[in-house]
Amino acid sequence: MIVILKKYWFVIGIIAIFLLTIIDASETAAVLGKWLKNHAGPEVTIICIFLISGLMLDVSQIKSGMTDLCTISLALGNIFMIAPLVAAIFAFIPLHLELKIGIFLLAVMPTTLSSGVVMTTAAGGNTANALLITILANVICVFTIPVTLPLLLTLTDSVQSVSINKMAIMSQLGGLVLIPLTLGLLLKQLITVSSGKWRMRLQTVNQLMVLGIVWMAIASSRQALLQNITVFGLIFILAVMFHGILWLAAALAAHFFRLERGRKESVFFMGGQKTLPLAIILQVTLFPGFGLALVFNVIHHVVHLIMDGYLVARFRK
């Protein structure tokens, strides 16, 4: 049991926070989380996450990973082209508007900053290549989200209920993602965090802060979640389908371009995983009353970690 807790503590933490916030009859956790959310809690946490992520990235490895342009292009294509196309297809399924917005938010997200690289390495992939894809995706998203998200919203019948300010989103993403990430990379030149022990500690801190963002988001949408608790099964199925389609796209690309072991792992893990903190910050900023959009992104995060954990085991064999 202790081994399981150590290995899957992050996923268990998401589930525990979700359940405790929802079933707390006194609403103490919900009230505190909502207060933090209303007092710049998510924004400060996001900045800290990307600052620490910059400290953990190895610049020399990123440079060495620039040579495999094929896998980089395929992974970025999965992130910024295939995922939005899948979301566009989902838009024609008769789903609640909040679920569709949750899918749209997920689709325009860049890849994760930690778990994707870890799983790529664990599966036998190129760590440097995965690191470079991470950096590129999180920089590119600053410019793609303000364009792709409004385009997807036009596929709904109620797009007029949401006001999208492209420049505001771009400046917010720049302030929350690009600047902290760059600052972290610069600070890395002054602070030594190369040892495995320190990197593990920083990664743990980052994951704890992600749990904090999840808590604040759930607390602020507790009422909406309780009113829509019956759709959890549907959300789970949609999350599995979405990530499964990205798996299929990665498999077809790897087969078509004849990617061997050590290269195709980046396409699967970096091209399929989506970052949760950024999805949450956009949800609470742009769609604060759309609780199901939050639920979809949280459940999808748990689902894709479980699915990709299984894939790591398959690649090892």
Q: Give 201 or 101, the one with higher predicted confidence.
A: 101
Separation between Cα atoms, residue 225 and residue 229, nearest integer Å: 6
What digits encode the pLDDT tens for the residues 299-308?
Answer: 888 788 788 8
For the purposes of burial, counting CB atoms within 10 Å of the CB of 110, is it exposed (0-12), middle (13-18) or buried (19 or more)? buried
The mean pLDDT value for 132-138 works out to: 85
Residue 173 has pLDDT above 70, yes or no: no
pLDDT at position 114 = 64
Task: List the Cα angle 268/127/280 in 5-degree steps.
Answer: 60
Token duo for residue 235: 């959300």
Q: Give 36 or 189, the one with higher predicted confidence.
A: 36
Other CB atoms within a 10 A radius of the CB of residue 171 amount to 13
Residue 113 has pLDDT above 90, yes or no: no
List Cβ neighbours of 204 (8 Å cut-off, separation of 6 or more): none
Q: How confident is the model at residue 58 (pLDDT cuts 50, 70, 90)?
A: low
Separation between Cα atoms, residue 97 and residue 156, nearest integer Å: 7
Residue 245 has pLDDT above 80, yes or no: yes
Positive or negative, the CA dihedral 154, 159, 165, 168 is: negative
Q: Which ranges of 221-263 does DSSP label H, i.e. alpha helix?
A: 222-227, 232-256
Nearest-10 Cα torsion for 29, 35, 36, 39 = 180
- Strands (E) in the chain, as ranges, are none
Other CB atoms within a 10 A radius of the CB of residue 134 amount to 28
Residue 81 has pLDDT above 70, yes or no: yes
Q: Give 21 or 255, the one with higher predicted confidence.
A: 255
Q: How confident is the model at residue 226 (pLDDT cuts 50, 70, 90)?
A: confident
Separation between Cα atoms, residue 71 and residue 125, nearest integer Å: 11
Q: What is the pTM of this model?
A: 0.74
Residue at token pair 């949280």: 298
Q: How confident is the model at residue 165 (pLDDT cuts 50, 70, 90)?
A: low
Question: Would you give the end-to-end CA distance of the chain in angstroms?
Answer: 25
Separation between Cα atoms, residue 278 and residue 6, nearest integer Å: 26
What digits encode the pLDDT tens for the residues 214-223?
Answer: 788 778 767 7
Q: How confident is the model at residue 64 (pLDDT cuts 50, 70, 90)?
A: low
Q: Would you identify the CATH topology of the domain 40-214+228-316?
A: Na+/H+ antiporter like fold (1.20.1530)
Other CB atoms within a 10 A radius of the CB of residue 277 amount to 26
Q: Where are the domains of the chain?
A: 40-214+228-316
259, 317 contact by CB (below 8 A): no
